[in-house]
Amino acid sequence: MSSRVNASYFPQAERVAIFGGTHGNEMSGVTLVNMWIKNRAEIERSGVAVRAFITNPRAVEKCSRYIDTDLNRAFTPENLSTASGDGLPYEVQRAKEVNQIFGPKGSPDAYDVIFDLHNTTSNMGSTLILESSTDYFNLQMVHYIKKAIAPESCMVLLNEHPHLKYATTRSVAKHPVGLEVGPQPQGVLRSNIFESMRAIMKHALDFIELFNSGVEFPACSVEVFRVHERVDYPRDTNGNITAMVHPHLQDCDWEPLNPGDPMFQTFDGRTIPYEGASPVYPTFINEAAYYEKQQACITTRRETLAANAIRKISK
Ligand SMILES: CC(=O)N[C@@H](CC(=O)O)C(=O)O
Ligand SMILES: [Zn+2]
């Protein structure tokens, strides 16, 4: 049987968006998108319309994560279906606008691919965030990017957890892709982080151009880290944090954490170990934006996903 028989077919990716400023204090995405709005040459590819867009302009102006509520949690069916009105939180109003321009979410009219550019204060390096283990278009794209960027690394975080998955801005698209690069403090631009993000976007757009030109991408496998659990800081009965990320864990995103390994350090120097039953790979370790979400890190499990060959539906 030829590989073509087993290929999954997708339509040409005609409309692609690159979002920055979903969080107004994550400066690489804000700066790249503003740069590309001024001069589109770098993101133009044949056969596809690529639109750069600032999703939360008021938060960008204030250089804060959000105004009223986290835009990257706001794309719920409830928010997107309630009537617009003056009383709504700014980001809920904005989610409805973004959904109108780039969606509607879940409909045939939605954009094909949306890249949403984020920065983390965690030492995660470059990380692509996927929401489905069966979206072969996205799996083939991240496989392409990982190969193109080598020997630099690009990790893949898969969030399809039934409770921990959230309603992201990019989820409006048929193929949502998050790009998270760190470490970079909030409100700060670091040239190395900026350039890593820029390089990954170059390869991502090259992939889409190749796909649209009719290239068949053979079946492949992709190593991903699947969201497993969220871990909160140790707290007292008033809810105040009683310990910090342990120095042996700090900056060790993507490294295995075994049962009994140090996880937190109390203010008087006591070590609190990881008490899970099996090894995990923590990430988003000590992310600044996650203190408000009661999250010290998330744990993940490594797995290998298989992706079918893909090819464009011929017209
Ligand atoms: C640090 C940060 O903002 N991370 C993103 C991750 C994502 O885009 O899925 C968020 O929590 O929305
Ligand atoms: Zn973000």
pLDDT in tens, 16-55: 999 999 999 999 999 999 999 999 999 999 999 999 999 9
- State the pLDDT at residue 147: 98
Indicate the top mutation candidate among 72, 122, 131, 165 to test ligand 1's pocket, ranked by most ligand atoms within 8 A of CB: 72
Identity at 194, one-letter amino acid code: F
Domain that includes residue 127, residue range: 11-224+306-312
Residue 273 included in any domain? yes
Instruction: Report which bound ligand comes closest to the CA of 185.
Output: 1
Say yes or no: 149 and 242 in one domain: no
What span, in angstroms and rounded, lies between the C-alpha atoms of 59 and 57? 5
Residue 2 included in any domain? no
Say yes or no: 262 and 218 in one domain: no
**Cβ(154)–Cβ(128) under 8 Å?**
yes
Residue 167 pLDDT > 80: yes
Give the pLDDT band of residue 85 (cuts 50, 70, 90). confident
Say yes or no: 117 and 208 in one domain: yes
Ligand 1 centroid – CA 4 distance (Å): 37
Opening angle at CA 159, ends 156 and 161, nearest 5: 150
Which ligand 1 atom sits nearest the alpha carbon of residue 70?
12
Residue located nearest, by CA, to atom 7 of ligand 1: 178
180 is catalytic: yes
Residue 4 included in any domain? no
* 23 in contact with ligand 1, CB cutoff 6 A: yes
Residue 3 included in any domain? no
* 212 in contact with ligand 1, CB cutoff 6 A: no
Which ligand 1 atom sits nearest the alpha carbon of residue 166?
9
Residue 214 included in any domain? yes
- State the pLDDT at residue 210: 98
- State the pLDDT at residue 71: 98
* 186 in contact with ligand 1, CB cutoff 6 A: no
Which ligand 1 atom sits nearest the alpha carbon of residue 73?
12
Annotated binding-site members for substrate: 72-73, 166-170
State the CATH number of the domain containing residue 48: 3.40.630.10
* 253 in contact with ligand 1, CB cutoff 6 A: no
Say yes or no: 115 and 155 in one domain: yes
Residue located nearest, by CA, to atom 11 of ligand 1: 72
Percent of the chain having pLDDT more than 90?
Answer: 96
Q: Which of 42, 78, 97, 180 is catalytic?
A: 180
Residue 4 pLDDT > 70: no
Say yes or no: 193 and 235 in one domain: no
State the CATH number of the domain containing residue 265: 2.20.25.160
Say yes or no: 56 and 172 in one domain: yes
The set of residues, in sequence order, having a beta carbon less than 8 Å from that of 95 and lying 6+ positions away, is 71, 74, 75, 79, 80, 169
Rounded to an integer, the average pLDDT of 103-122 is 98
Give the pLDDT band of residue 196 (cuts 50, 70, 90). very high
Residue 3 pLDDT > 60: no
Ligand 2 centroid – CA 313 distance (Å): 34
Say yes or no: 274 and 208 in one domain: no
Residue 5 pLDDT > 80: no
Say yes or no: 202 and 271 in one domain: no
Say yes or no: 236 and 197 in one domain: no
Total domain count for the chain? 2
Say yes or no: 167 and 115 in one domain: yes
Ligand 1 centroid – CA 118 distance (Å): 7
* 183 in contact with ligand 1, CB cutoff 6 A: no
Rounded to an integer, the average pLDDT of 134-159 is 98
What span, in angstroms and rounded, lies between the C-alpha atoms of 303 and 243? 31
Q: What is the mean pLDDT of the chain?
A: 96
Using one digit for the tens of pLDDT, what is the confidence trace for 274-297? 999 999 999 999 999 999 999 999
Which ligand 1 atom sits nearest the alpha carbon of residue 26?
3
- State the pLDDT at residue 204: 98
The ipTM, to two decimals, is: 0.99
Residue 66 included in any domain? yes
* 65 in contact with ligand 1, CB cutoff 6 A: no
Q: Which contacts of 68-74 are long-range, i.e. CB under 8 A and separated by 24 or more positions? A: 68/92, 70/23, 71/22, 71/23, 71/95, 71/169, 72/22, 72/23, 72/116, 72/166, 72/168, 72/169, 73/166, 73/167, 73/168, 74/167, 74/169
- State the pLDDT at residue 315: 66
CA nearest 130: which of 160, 151, 109?
A: 160
Using one digit for the tens of pLDDT, what is the confidence trace for 254-279? 999 999 999 999 999 999 999 999 99
Residue 25 included in any domain? yes
* 182 in contact with ligand 1, CB cutoff 6 A: no
